[in-house]
Amino acid sequence: MIMTMIDNQLKKELLDVVTQCYSIAEHVLARRFPRPDVLFNQRGKIAGCALLQKNTIKFHPKIYEQNKAHFLTHVVPHEIAHLLVWQLFGKTPPHGREWQHIMVNVFNLPPTRTHQYNVDNIGIKHITYRCDCGDVELTMRRHNNVLKGTIYRCKTCRQNLTMA
């Protein structure tokens, strides 16, 4: 089990930004929105995730700690925009026109879909596989899929990957 320990001060700073984002959205959109539950248990390489029907946002604690300033100004509004779009429009494409509109016109941010943070040292374990090109690192999730029968191929030589 992965422990997601995060400093209380960092939690408070992020929660304050959530509150600020909702204040901005309510002012611009002239309506109130229910506040989400905020969790710090996102795993993998994803910085944040909005669980629309649960009105919950999950953030990756290590990615947040390593990229605090940018994370607070970009990832937090990004995930809140997903919840706002769900509450305003219902089901829409995840990064569609409605979401882009909220990002640009409410949060005054570029509607970027993915982060560019370095995730090399956030504790993701890899297993080495091989092909004719050389070694390929697979995450534990993909390794477990291989154990269940999934076959992965090299993107370059198209050969099936085998455990090193």
**Which positions are catalytic?**
79
Q: HEC string of the chain?
A: CCCCCCCHHHHHHHHHHHHHHHHHHHHHHCCCCCCCEEECCCCCCCCEEEEHHHCEEEECHHHHHHCHHHHHHHHHHHHHHHHHHHHHHCCCCCCCHHHHHHHHHCCCCCCCCCCCCCCCCCCCCEEEEEECCEEEEEEHHHHHHHHCCCCCECCCCCCECEEC
